[in-house]
Amino acid sequence: MNLSAYLTATVLLPARLARRGLQAGAWMGTTVLDTTVTGAAAVTGVGMNLATAPLRGGTVSARDMAREFLGGAPSRRYWRGNDRIWMEVRGLDTPDGPRIGTAVLAAVRDLPGVTAVQLNHALSRIVATVGDETPALTQLGDTVSGAENSVRAPEPEQPLDLPGDDVVLAGRVAALATTGLGLGVSVAAAALRLPQLSVAVASAVISADYQPRIRRLVEHRLGPESTDVVLATAEAAILTLTQNPTLLAVNVLLRATLTAETWSARQAWHRTEPNLAPHAGDNHPPEHPHRPRSLPVGPLEHHANRSVVAAPAAAAVAGAATGDAGLAGTALIVAAPAATRTARESFAATLSRGLADRHRMLPLRPQALRHLDRVDTVVIDPQTLTPPGPDAAVLDYLRRAGIRTIGLKSPAMGDGQTTFDELHEPTDTTPDTALHDAVEQLQSRGATVAVIAAHAPHALAAADVSIGILGDQAPPWYADLLVDDPATAWRILCAVPAARTASRRGVELSTGSSLLGAVLLLTSIPFRGTEPLTGGAAAGLWIGHRLARRTLDDPLTEHEHEHPHADAHRTLRDRVQQAERFAVALPGVGRVPIPTPEQTAYLAALAVLVGLQIIDWPVALVIVAGYIVTTTGRRRPSRTPAPSAA
């Protein structure tokens, strides 16, 4: 131990605080400006589309969308452009699917103005090429609906959304607009000192929004997109009545981030569709594999399962002990895991937008990026390994991150086979069958599997996260994410450690904010009930965005052996030395960690604040516990990198 290090840390504490404050302010300003510009573009684009839909013969109007968002029948999805119409076909994944497909093809071919028709089972779309005499979208929708009903009776089912569909972006914009309107009204009401409701009345809506189990129940009834709009509108209304502009501001940033993600995906669809359309017909029935085991839960799901039990228990205890229903509602709010959701959504949305804008990725199913933190195994099609790229070095980096790499034995790979952790022997003439068998075996062992392939529909459909590489042949329609460069696929996989970090920090923030809220409830310190939740949600939003931007900004070549890759071994050595340096040896116990100089400086500053009665000691204790836990976790030496598999 060195006393000068502790004195230096104490002296430099104000500078460190100022630097971090400037970093946070710069991030906030950049994010607000960026999301405001993108959100304004999205609002303008959707508004023009909805306003001119009747003039263009559109099948979806604002009234139809409002009916769907309120639990009515979902609107038929479509996209129109480049002399083509992509129209949703329902029932292709049912036993009557082949008959429905045949009936729809025959009916659409007979429409005047239609020059060619293709059926895409994977996306549940019919692609009609039109000439000068273009059929109205309402006519095409009625024709498809009539063909479906001629085979089977109409049944409610959730539509498969594509990035180009207006309904998805309209829902995002509606949620952003309502939340932004609520923020403005709330600020004005607070400035005018108008009467307000107790925050406890918002407990039910906040719990439904942030508790995953409750949210899934609503999604089962309304669908994911409608649930998002309904909960955003309800939360904006109730937070406006309770005059809570800070939480509304956090929600506005989250909604703007999600809207920007959807807008970038829409632009990627417009850019990629001309290359996809010539191969739109997949000519085989849809693949709907059954996972041999349920998808393993991640850290966020573990925390959500705990909080969904703890929240009603805390509310019941608080209500029974005090007889105050308002206090019980506050306990529900305190236990809501807001930071977990904002951290994951911010990370996934920022990563998706960056990959779409910078690397031409097309997210057909963007929900796959929300599963990156659970991926522990990747199955790779040998056709995607194209030396002399950085593939072997990237595979080694993934292995060091704890991700097992699985491949197929292939003479074309040569010495590249030694870079895999496990090689499967092809038992069939088609690589797709071998890859699919490997995916099922790994999933049956409890693994969360990602697949990178170019022409393996069965394996891509069975994977938990599937990345398809576009080429000269038919696109891999069953992939969640489409890329035109293998390097982009490696970049997505290299984001797995950052996704895990975002989830872990989200859990830490959620736990800390709930603990702080519990302490405030047990003391006489006055608070409204949403302060810890708001702070945790804002911090999760910031951390997710920052981690995604770092992942996007890091050059992929840093994963090569010739580059230091953040000096992995040197960093590990420094962490071990730091852990040994700031520890004391106790007889019979061993080396016990002690606070580092930075931790000591923060503890001293907190002691001064408590002594000056600027903050109370319960709050200081919670801050101390959370700070030591998080910083200790960051400086704990990680496992030694695993050697490359021979």
Instruction: Give the residue with greater pLDDT, 618 vs 490.
Output: 490
| Rounded distance between C-alpha atoms, residue 517 and residue 523, angstroms | 10
Q: How far apart are CA 381 and CA 420, in angstroms?
A: 12
Lowest mean pLDDT: which of 176-190, 231-245, 326-340?
326-340
DSSP string, 56-105: TT-S--HHHHHHHHTTSPPPPPEEEETTEEEEE--STTSTTHHHHHHHHH
CATH number of 62-151: 3.30.70.100
Look at residue 566 in the predicted model and tell me its pLDDT.
43
Query: 590-593 and 583-586: which strand pairing?
Result: antiparallel
Residue 523 DSSP class: S
The DSSP letter of residue 646 is -
* Mean confidence (pLDDT) of the chain: 77
The two three-digit tokens of residue 562, written as one number: 């010739």
Q: Is residue 470 a contact partner of residue 482, using CB atoms and an 8 Å limit?
A: yes
CA-CA-CA-CA dihedral for 586, 587, 591, 595, to nearest 10: -10
pLDDT digits (tens, 9 = 90+) for 56-73: 444 455 677 777 777 677
> For residues 294 and 282, what is the distance between their CA atoms, to the nearest angstrom?
28
Determine phi and psi for 293, rounding to 5 degrees.
-135, 155
Tens digits of per-residue pLDDT, 299-358?
888 888 888 888 888 888 877 877 777 778 888 888 888 899 999 999 999 999 999 999
**Cα distance between residue 205 and residue 232, in whole Å:** 9
Distances (CA, A) of 174 to 179, 191, 404, 422, 580: 8, 26, 42, 48, 54
Q: Is 0.85 topped by the overall pTM?
A: no
Query: Residue 303: what pLDDT?
Result: 87
Helix (H, G, I), strand (E, B) or coil at 451: strand
User: Concatenated DSSP letters for 573-610?
Assistant: HHHHHHHHHSEEEETTTEEEE---HHHHHHHHHHHHHH
Top-confidence residue, 527 or 109: 109
- Which residue is associated with the tokens 């000519």? 283
CA distances from 169 to 123, 166, 250, 348 (A): 18, 6, 20, 17
Q: Which CATH homologous superfamily contains domain 349-497?
A: HAD superfamily/HAD-like (3.40.50.1000)
- What's the pLDDT score for residue 571? 45
Helix axis angle, 486-494 relative to 338-359, nearest 10°? 160
Q: Is the pLDDT of residue 19 over 90?
A: no
Closest CA relative to residue 283, chosen from 131, 498, 457, 70: 457
Top-confidence range, 7-21, 106-120, 223-237, 630-644: 106-120
- In the chain, what is the straight-line distance between the N-terminal and C-terminal CA atoms, in Å? 42
CB 148, CB 124: distance < 8 Å: no
More confident residue, 199 or 628: 199
Closest CA to 165 of 305, 240, 41, 53: 53
Q: What is the CA radius of gyration of the chain?
A: 27
pLDDT attached to residue 565: 43
Q: Is the backbone of residue 397 left (phi > 0), alpha (psi -120 to 50) or beta? A: alpha
Instruction: Tell me what pLDDT residue 460 has.
Output: 92
Write the pLDDT tens digit of every residue in 543-561. 999 999 999 988 765 544 4
* CA pair distance 113, 111, nearest whole angstrom: 6
Which two three-digit tokens encode residue 367? 């929900």
| Distance in angstroms (rounded) separating the CA atoms of residues 414 and 47 | 55
Is 602 a residue whose pLDDT tops 70? no
- Quote the CA–CA distance of 336 and 106 in Å, as a whole number: 52
Q: Which of 106, 243, 115, 110 is nearest to 187 (CA)?
A: 243
pLDDT at 194: 85
The answer to whether 84 touches 130, Cβ cutoff 8 Å, is yes
CB 95 within 8 A of CB 257: no
At 147, is the secondary structure helix, strand, or coil? helix
Instruction: Report whether pLDDT(509) > 60.
Output: yes
Is the omega angle on the peptide bond into residue 388 within 30 degrees of 0, that is, cis? Answer: yes
Rounded to the nearest angstrom, the gap between the alpha carbon of residue 137 and the centroid of all alpha carbons in its chain is 33
pLDDT digits (tens, 9 = 90+) for 564-585: 444 444 444 444 444 444 455 5
Kindly report, residue by residue over 243-284, the tens digit of the pLDDT: 889 889 999 999 999 999 999 999 999 999 999 999 988 866
Domain residue ranges in the chain: 62-151, 349-497
> What DSSP state is assigned to residue 444?
H
DSSP letter for each residue of 240-254: HHTT-HHHHHHHHHH
- Whether the CB-CB separation of 478 and 457 falls below 8 Å is answered with yes
